[in-house]
Amino acid sequence: MSPRRNRPRGGADKQSDAPRAEGGDRYGLERTEEWQGEEWVVRTLGGGAATKHYRCPGCDQEIPPGVPHLVAWPQYGAGVEDRRHWHKSCWNARDRRSARLQRSRNAPRY
């Protein structure tokens, strides 16, 4: 018995008629959420797309490469420099966390 074929039979690649979400291949789906009276764009990043070290503004801990997390930025009037990388649990608890985190003197600021 031959193994099962996982690819569809046919000649050319068939494109799906369903619209794809922006950034759906590598970066995950985007959504908007309201926080502090402002609309925020939130994008989930998988472990494969996370290639650098980031600092989570919610817990002030480092997010190492390869760890899935979220990227959030204000929807209007924001540039690339306004994007912040959050742990998913920190983003979900952002209203319960204090905004005045103290960093030690030798902690990196990225």
Q: What is the pLDDT of residues 25-82, one digit of tens each?
A: 455 688 898 888 889 899 998 888 888 899 998 888 999 999 999 999 988 876 788 8
Structure confidence at residue 27 (pLDDT): 57
1 pLDDT above the threshold of 80 = no
Does the predicted model carry a pTM greater than 0.85? Answer: no
To which residue do tokens 């039979």 refer? 9
The dihedrals phi and psi of 89, each to the nearest 5 degrees, come to -70, -35
User: Cα–Cα distance between 33 and 83 in angstroms, integer?
Assistant: 14
CA distances, 16 to each of 19, 20, 29, 43, 69 (Å): 8, 9, 18, 23, 28
